[in-house]
Structure 1
Amino acid sequence: MAFAKKGSRRIVVDGVTYRWRLRARPTYDRGMCWSPAACRLPPAAYAVERADEPGAVLVVTTNWPHMSNWVGRTGRSVLPAGVACAIRQALSAGWDPGRLGPPFRLDRSGGFVP
């Protein structure tokens, strides 16, 4: 299923146009750590799909907190160069953006400290 174009950014990698978008802010419960399952701040994540022919979505988990976290952790901006690198890494790992199916998950969260 394609995600909304509003709020997404365009990027061209190796001649193919993709759209990417940062994950939404955490829920209130997660942001305030009110539930046991939410007592650690989740890392930032973003989604990528092919712009012209959406198929399987790539979900990339980063190793830093989301910029809009509520507990004072310092986050980092997601830069287009990092998105391009993640797209190339996912393609070499078997992501087929033209094929319909479940999201392809790329975990780049090594070193994340909750």
Structure 2
Amino acid sequence: MALVTKGSRLIHVDGTSYRWRLRGRPTYDRGLAATPLAYAVELAEAPGTTLVVTTDQPHPGNWIGIPGSPVLPAHVADSIRTALSAGWTPETPGSPFHLAPVRD
């Protein structure tokens, strides 16, 4: 399934173009800060498997007022590199590849 173009941003990582998107309004669970923020990434030209990155922070628009920091392009680039080294193949169609934060 391809990402919606509206609201998505392009990012170039190691010579490849990707499109990433963060949901503008939080879902119910993310609004209550019960589940962490997540965003999706895919190849820009020929999308295959979508990368779903779950962060360790709340959605910035949560209703509880817990402060959340924005997702920066540098974080997205790091997530893409981590997912590629973990086996994500963005050009091959398939189920979403999930990347969760490493907890100490």
TM-score normalised by the chain length of structure 2: 0.92
- Per the alignment, residue 37 of structure 1 pairs with none
- Structure 2: unaligned runs, 5 residues or longer: none
1:68-100 Cα deviation digits (max 9, x unpaired): 000111101000000000000000000000000
Q: Distance in 2 between matches of 1:96 and 1:20?
A: 16
Question: SS of 2:87's equivalent?
Answer: coil
Q: Distance in 1 between matches of 2:16 and 2:42?
A: 11
Identity score, percent: 55
Rg comparison, structure with higher value = 1
More strand by share: 1
Q: Work out the number of aligned pairs and report it.
A: 102
Structure 1 stretches (4+) deviating beyond 6 angstroms? none
Change (3 A) 1:72 1:109: farther
What is the CA RMSD across the aligned residues, in angstroms? 1.5
1:21-68 Cα deviation digits (max 9, x unpaired): 0135122xx335xxxxxxx52110000000001000000000100000
- Per the alignment, residue 54 of structure 1 pairs with 47
TM-score normalised by the chain length of structure 1: 0.84
- Per the alignment, residue 93 of structure 2 pairs with 100
Q: Distance in 2 between matches of 1:13 and 1:50?
A: 11
